[in-house]
Structure 1
Amino acid sequence: MSAALLVIDAQASFPARPYWQDTDVPGWLDAQNRLIDAFAKQGKPVVRVLHVEDTGPFSLESGLVRPIDGLRAFDAALTIHKHAHSAFAGTPLAAWLLQRRIGRIVISGIRTEQCCETTTRDASDRGFQVDYVTEATLTFPMRHANGRLFSSAEIKERTELVLAGRFARICTVDTLAAA
């Protein structure tokens, strides 16, 4: 089955957000770039997904809706601007994939529990097979209303828990690169 890599919201808008932390960025960038390289080497399509809002750092006028520094340059087979959490909502992504008979998508990008997870669930509901590459997703610590601080690692673990076997297969970069 043909596959496409989605690079979701790996954009310069995020460092302008107050929750941005550089701590996990080097590891994420390494995994993200290795995944992009693997798809390019295999001749498989890579889709660039950029989140756009009307105002602020995610607005087109901000100049930040562009690849984040350190992300490997790649020729996107498709670039979409999304306005919702799912890369499928209100975009031509599903039709583009179906026209090319692509039945499997690989999820990577920024935010693990938000746009990456939402796109995964939506893709699964639309009938796509999904590989979720947790190490190639980035997120940040979050504080619950009860005061508990959840680390990035805990958020990623929870995301794997709720996706695995239901909406996606959890994969590593090395597993997909070897396939």
Structure 2
Amino acid sequence: MNKALLVIDTQDSFYHTPYWSVRDVADFQHNLTQLIAAFQRNQHKVIKILHSRDDVPDSPFNPASGFVKPMAFLDTPFDKTFHKSVHNAFTDTGLAMWLKRNNIDCVAISGIRTEQCCETTARVASDLGFQVEFVTDATLTFDMQHQPSGQRFKADEIKVRTELVLAERFAKICTLQDFVL
């Protein structure tokens, strides 16, 4: 099986959002760094995905902001970079074609935000026929509030919910240890 690691939206833009929290960042950075190293050791492709939107001038995701760049801890070379403007990494990016041209049939998902761009990319990848490995401990998300009820959900609860809806339907749920042993 030919694999590629998708490193989704791990970019400086998030430092400039109102929901940014450093609570889980150190673990996320460690896990993602180790995962990238494992993929590179096994000669699998590592793909950088950046989210950019030029339709909102004052957004930290607008390329003009200067924040649409990898976070500093990602100091490793990537095999390819794709820019997306929607929640998944496939729509209008050429990613699926590139993966197929490189005979890649399995994608591992990592990055920011677990339940948004990472989950959405996993679902679309599955629908496109790729095997999907969702590496939850190499994803990051933030606490959220459900607006109608006011109920707050912790980042860990959101990750569990994401695993629940993806497992055995869209993705195999994995941990860093599945790749580094």
| Structure 1 residue 114 corresponds to structure 2 residue 103 | no
Counterpart amino acid of 1:58?
F
| Structure 1 residue 164 corresponds to structure 2 residue 158 | no
How do 1:122-137 and structure 2 match up within 5 A?
122-137=124-139
Counterpart amino acid of 1:20?
W
Paired with 2:19 and 2:65, the residues of 1 have a C-alpha distance of 18
How do 1:60-99 and structure 2 match up within 5 A?
60-71=63-74, 73-99=75-101
Report the equivalent of 2:60. Answer: 57
Q: What SS does the aligned partner of 2:73 have?
A: coil
Paired with 2:65 and 2:143, the residues of 1 have a C-alpha distance of 25
Paired with 2:101 and 2:76, the residues of 1 have a C-alpha distance of 22
Residue segments in structure 2 that go unaligned for 5+ positions in a row: none
Counterpart amino acid of 2:47?
V
Runs of 4+ in 1 over 2 A off after TM superposition: none
Deviation at 1:69, TM superposition (A): 2.8
Residue segments in structure 1 that go unaligned for 5+ positions in a row: none
Q: Residues 79-104 of structure 1, C-alpha deviation per residue, up to 9 Å, x if partnerless?
A: 01100000001111000000011000
| TM-score scaled by length of structure 2 | 0.96
Q: What SS does the aligned partner of 1:102 have?
A: coil
Q: Residues 92-138 of structure 1, C-alpha deviation per residue, up to 9 Å, x if partnerless?
A: 10000000110000000000000000000000000000000000000
Aligned-pair identity in percent equals 51
| Structure 1 residue 2 corresponds to structure 2 residue 24 | no
Paired with 1:88 and 1:177, the residues of 2 have a C-alpha distance of 27
- What is the number of equivalent residue pairs in this alignment? 177
Q: What SS does the aligned partner of 1:79 have?
A: strand
Paired with 1:74 and 1:4, the residues of 2 have a C-alpha distance of 15
Counterpart amino acid of 1:40?
Q
Deviation at 1:68, TM superposition (A): 1.1
Deviation at 1:70, TM superposition (A): 2.3
